Amino acid sequence: MSKTVTILGIETSCDETAASVVVNGREMLSNVIHSQIPLHKEYGGVVPELASRDHVENIDRVVGLALSQAEKTLEEIDAVAVTYGAGLQGALLVGLSFAKALAQAINKPLYGINHIRGHICANYITHKELEPPYLCLIASGGHTAIVRVDTFTEITPIMSTFDDAAGEAFDKVARVLGLQYPGGVTLDKLSKNGQAIYKLPSPLVNGGFSYSGLKTATVNLIHKMTQQKQEFKMEDICASFQKTAIDGLVSAVKTQAGILGLSKAAIAGGVGANSYLREEMKKLNGVQVFYPDLKLCTDNAAMIASCAYFLINAGFPPSGGDLNAAPTLRL
């Protein structure tokens, strides 16, 4: 393989059809994302069957756009990378089948990528100088964990959630407040005009995270005040929930960085786009914090292509033709 490795990444694990061309894991030549938000909005969440169909309708166009925006032809692609888990089975299968067929047609290796590991790699695109070891906070709609990134391909889990993910709790509270899907980002915006006046349970429990308790307590508070016809400002609920949810993450990063003696911490996943999280992380003394660009926090294919580069660089073999979708794939 030539010194310059150009990878086409494909991502269809949930509600974004995405494709991207990345050189040597760090240089993003294109990043095309077709969002299905308008499609799922009226249902208040992702409808798996609709997601799969929409991926089928858009994947060819999205991949074509990623190549043309990168000014690359298929002949110039060295490998195809695709998310094979975790995610929605039907949605994953669309990207996987497409990537398999494409890799075979152009006679190039195929790399199946773990979506969550992909989120971590988004940092390598934004921060050209970032190298392991570092601590990484992963907070998305499906995962909440802190890991030690030992090398570009090896990770040691440090702590994780016992139940819900942080993003899942943001989405649920937003739904109960009647905010439009996807609620996390709206809740973040409303919090700016609110005061964190309500006391809610911390998500830090027994050396891990629990977002189920915080979620339920917030939902119960909303229901109680509504039933008792108490006046409340929705923004105050948002700010109280957000402060509690995020303070737990920041405090865990601080503690673990101290215990492990790490001076660098990266953020990965959609909740990494949260403005309060970004502000609070800046205040950590002695820990240099890295975030992906906002566009690379939520689902994209550039992070998938980047991840494949580091696997190739470390000598990992390509995936076989029997690579299957793994909806519940873990870190």
State the residues that interact with ligand KG4 by CB under 6 A: 14, 119, 140-142, 167, 170-171, 182-185, 188, 269-271, 273-274, 298-299
Q: Give the nearer residue to Zn ion in terms of CB position, either 164 or 299.
A: 299
Q: Give the nearer residue to ligand KG4 in terms of CB position, either 149 or 297.
A: 297
What values do phi and psi take at 228, rounded to 5? -85, 10
d(CA 206, CA 211): 13
12 binds, among Zn ion, ligand KG4, none (CB under 5 to 8 A by kind): none
Q: Give the nearer residue to ligand KG4 in terms of CB position, either 12 or 140.
A: 140
Q: How far is the CB of 12 from ligand KG4 (least distance, A)?
A: 12
d(CA 94, CA 11): 9
Q: Give the nearer residue to Zn ion in terms of CB position, either 93 or 121.
A: 121
For 90-120, give the DSSP string. Answer: HHHHHHHHHHHHHHHHHT--EEEEEHHHHHH
Q: How far is the CB of 144 from Zn ion (least distance, A)?
A: 12
Q: How far is the CB of 261 from ligand KG4 (least distance, A)?
A: 28
Q: Give the nearer residue to Zn ion in terms of CB position, either 85 or 248.
A: 85
182 binds, among ligand KG4, Zn ion, none (CB under 5 to 8 A by kind): ligand KG4
d(CA 130, CA 300): 20
Q: Give the nearer residue to ligand KG4 in terms of CB position, either 90 or 269.
A: 269
Chain residues binding Zn ion by CB under 5 A are 140, 299
Q: How far is the CB of 35 from Zn ion (least distance, A)?
A: 13
Strand partners, 155: 149
Q: How far is the CB of 137 from ligand KG4 (least distance, A)?
A: 12
- Give the N- to C-terminal CA distance of the chain in Å, as an integer: 28
132 binds, among ligand KG4, Zn ion, none (CB under 5 to 8 A by kind): none
d(CA 266, CA 278): 11
d(CA 220, CA 117): 35
111: nearest Cα among 4, 16, 11: 11
d(CA 31, CA 302): 6
